[in-house]
């Protein structure tokens, strides 16, 4: 009988995360921050000397979410920061690839998200209202990324992501940084939000 394929990944913390049955005890913020800081969005097709990482994107989404939802709790802001956390092990797939992979991708993402959320004291499943607000911030972030670093015209970005309120983002500029800087900021922001939750 054939040996089943390995479905776990060893993390730098020493944890062994089972992708088919992830448990909160095997999740560490340092692993998430490290992984996301080294995962490139846009399949790396961005201008600059450093890739635009999922960690950088997550920090921007949390900033935008907070601007859109000024009365959001620390837990809601943490949910926004961690909205792409599963990508620290499954990578950032562009939408066309997700469509090609099919529903299995969504199920894997949901399992990992639930484990991450439970680990940090959040509901396993993000409430629909909150998910919608975070998605709005995510789309604004995608528009900014598309126009500032991915070579899209404003018209193209408007068509794919929707035109944002330009006043909301007027003072925000994407600056590409070394992964270790982004990792550090992501970890610090996570710690600050956790502190505000307690």
Topology (CATH) of 25-197: Hypothetical protein af1432 (1.10.3210)
Dihedral of alpha carbons 163, 165, 170, 171, sign: negative
Which pLDDT value is given to residue 148?
Answer: 98
Which pLDDT value is given to residue 96?
Answer: 74
Which pLDDT value is given to residue 160?
Answer: 96
Which pLDDT value is given to residue 187?
Answer: 98
What is the 8-class DSSP label of residue 148? H
- Gyration radius of the chain's alpha carbons: 17
pTM: 0.94
> pLDDT tens per residue, the chain (198 residues)?
778 788 899 999 999 999 989 999 999 999 999 999 999 999 999 999 999 999 999 999 999 999 999 999 999 999 999 999 999 999 887 777 777 777 788 888 999 999 999 999 999 999 999 999 999 999 999 999 999 999 999 999 999 999 999 999 999 999 999 999 999 999 999 999 999 998
Strand, helix or coil at 40? Answer: strand
Burial class (CB in 10 A: 0-12, 13-18, 19+), 128: exposed
Element (H, E) at 17: strand 16-18
How far apart CA 14 and CA 23 sit, in angstroms, is 14
């Amino acid at each position: 009988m054939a040996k089943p394929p390995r479905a776990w990944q060893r993390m730098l913390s020493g944890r062994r995360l089972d992708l088919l049955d992830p448990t909160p005890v095997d999740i560490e913020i340092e692993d998430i921050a490290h992984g996301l800081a080294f995962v490139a969005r846009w399949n790396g097709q961005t201008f600059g000397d450093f890739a635009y990482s999922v960690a950088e994107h997550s920090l921007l989404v949390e900033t935008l979410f907070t601007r859109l939802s000024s009365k959001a709790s620390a837990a809601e802001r943490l949910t926004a920061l961690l909205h792409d956390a599963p990508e620290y092990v499954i990578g950032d797939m562009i939408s066309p690839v997700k469509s090609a992979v099919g529903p299995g991708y969504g199920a894997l993402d949901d399992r990992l998200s639930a484990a991450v959320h439970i680990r940090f004291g959040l509901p396993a499943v993000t409430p629909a209202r909150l998910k919608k607000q975070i998605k709005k911030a995510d789309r604004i972030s995608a528009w900014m990324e598309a126009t500032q670093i991915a070579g899209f015209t404003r018209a193209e970005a408007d068509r794919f992501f929707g035109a944002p309120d330009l006043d909301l983002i007027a003072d925000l500029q994407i600056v590409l940084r070394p992964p270790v800087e982004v990792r550090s900021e992501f970890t610090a922001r996570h710690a600050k939000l956790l502190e505000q939750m307690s």
